[in-house]
Amino acid sequence: MERTAVRGRLNWLVAEVVDLIDETGTVKSIVLDCPDWPLQLPGQHVDIRLTAEDGYQAQRSYSIANPPAGEKVVVTVELVDDGEVSPYLIGELAVGDQIELRGPIGGYFVWTPEHGGPVQLVAGGSGLVPLMAMIRALAESDRQVPVRLLTSARSRETLIYGDELRRLQSSLDNLEVAYTLTRAQPADWQGYSRRVDQQMLAETSWPATERPLGFVCGPTGFVETVAANLVALGHDAARIKTERFGPSGG
């Protein structure tokens, strides 16, 4: 597996906000231009640091949403109730503002098309962000690695990247996407309507005999349930990588 070439302490870099994209009512993608940015691998995250005028600082980690693109770094941030950093990033940050970040971080929860497959991706809520970086890398690649994604959201309104996933699903022969909306579904909904369980995973994921590379991301409880179910379906635990976001998500 290729190594991320990070040596020495991670330095804080200054990036400029070049675009802000409303993904849903509570999720925003922030497009940053970051000089001297070391290229990321899909699945990695960045730390973002905010400093108030009196020197007070707060710092959080966010998954990177885009595959390597020179000095462009995209983070997709979900608003956390009573949060400290996400309300600022979503509600206050404007194009032209500067922001400090360091990274990319993480060499374990990483996948590129060169790693091969088949690949099983399972996302809960904003856990879709690092997996989307992987899917976007797949879309840019010549390698036709077979990838299956199961993504869970509360409703269509809270499903991130919905249009893009539908577009990629039809344009890429090697990408299959299954959706479950756990709280509210539109009238013509054809996907699943419940929390991810073993039956749903059995119907949407690669059989264990295919020995897929698994990546599961989302709130801690979601990740635990999915990982346990995948193992119960016969998948090798060593081939399932997890990124828990904590109780409330990323």
Partner 1 sequence: MTDMHLDGNALGALFIDLFGQEMTDQNGCCDACGAVNPFGRAVVYRDAPGDVMRCPDCGAVLIVAVRTETRLRVSIQSLRWIEVLE
Partner 2 sequence: MAIISRGFKGRRQEDAPRDRVPPGQYVTNDFPVLSAGPTPLISLDKWSLSLTSETGQTTSWTWDEFSALPTEAITVDIHCVTKWTKLDTSWEGVSVDTLLDGVQTSSGFLLVESYDGYTTNLPLADATNGKAWVTHIYDGEPLRPEHGGPARLLVPRLYLWKSAKWVRGLRLSSADQRGFWEGYGYHNYGDPWKEQRYAGD
Interface residue list for partner 1 (CB under 8 A)? 1, 3-4, 6-10, 45, 47, 61, 102-103, 105-110, 220-221, 224, 241-247
239 binds, among partner 1, partner 2, none (CB under 5 to 8 A by kind): none
70 binds, among partner 1, partner 2, none (CB under 5 to 8 A by kind): none
Q: Which is nearer to partner 2, 95 or 237 (CB)?
A: 95
Q: Which is nearer to partner 2, 59 or 182 (CB)?
A: 59
221 binds, among partner 2, partner 1, none (CB under 5 to 8 A by kind): partner 1
Return d(Cα 217, Cα 130) in angstroms, integer. 8
Q: Are 136 and 128 in contact (CB under 8 A)?
A: no
Based on the shown chain and the rule CB under 8 A, indicate whether residue 11 belongs to the binding site for partner 2. no
Q: Which is nearer to partner 2, 184 or 228 (CB)?
A: 228
Sign for the CA dihedral angle at 236, 242, 248, 250 comes to negative
Q: Which of residues 71-110 bind partner 2 (CB under 8 A)?
A: 82, 84, 88, 92, 94, 97-100
Return d(Cα 13, Cα 229) in angstroms, integer. 40
Q: Are 144 and 116 in contact (CB under 8 A)?
A: no
Give the number of C-alpha atoms closer than 13 A to the C-alpha of residue 139, restricted to the C-beta side: 18
49 binds, among partner 2, partner 1, none (CB under 5 to 8 A by kind): partner 2
What Rg, from alpha-carbon coordinates, does the chain have?
18
Q: Which is nearer to partner 2, 221 or 234 (CB)?
A: 221
The count of chain residues that interact with partner 2, using the rule CB under 8 A, is 20
Return d(Cα 91, Cα 218) in angstroms, integer. 23
189 binds, among partner 1, partner 2, none (CB under 5 to 8 A by kind): none
Q: Is the peptide bond before 186 cis (omega within 30 degrees of 0)?
A: no
Return d(Cα 232, Cα 50) in angstroms, integer. 43
Which burial class, exposed, middle or buried, applies to 79 when counting CB atoms under 10 A from its CB (0-12, 13-18, 19+)? Answer: middle
103 binds, among partner 2, partner 1, none (CB under 5 to 8 A by kind): partner 1
Q: Which of residues 120-149 bind partner 2 (CB under 8 A)?
A: none
Which burial class, exposed, middle or buried, applies to 92 when counting CB atoms under 10 A from its CB (0-12, 13-18, 19+)? Answer: exposed
**Nearest distance, CB of residue 49 and partner 2, angstroms:** 7
* AA identity, residue 249: G
Stretch that binds partner 2, among 37-45, 46-54, 157-165, 212-220 (CB under 8 A): 46-54
Residues within the interface to partner 2 (CB under 8 A): 12, 14, 49-53, 55-58, 82, 84, 88, 92, 94, 97-100
